[in-house]
Amino acid sequence: TRTGGVADLVIDGETGYLFELEDSGKTYAPKIHSLVDNPLEYKRISDAARKRYENHHSRASWLREFGKIIEKLDGSI
């Protein structure tokens, strides 16, 4: 749902789907059903979510970005 930080992590239609807090199962069920019926779409969403995690939210990506900051600071000392 679009609560907390979830909407910052999930890109609607690309890495998952976002719903409103007040949405019920009647809103969720058709989307779930469409993914069950379309394994290629499910794989596309899953692969995009994994790629986003690896590029932006993993330990390796954090270390890479932190290293860039350290390099900039080291060059300015």
For 19-76, how does the pLDDT look when each residue is reduced to its tens digit (9 = 90+)? 999 999 999 999 999 999 999 999 999 999 999 999 999 999 999 999 999 988 887 7
- pLDDT for 48 equals 97
Query: Which one is predicted more confidently, 36 or 6?
Result: 36
pLDDT at 18 exceeding the cut of 80: yes
- pLDDT for 8 equals 83
- pLDDT for 77 equals 62
Are residues 32 and 39 in contact, defined by beta-carbon separation less than 8 angstroms?
no
Return the closest-CA partner of residue 9 out of 44, 58, 43. Answer: 58
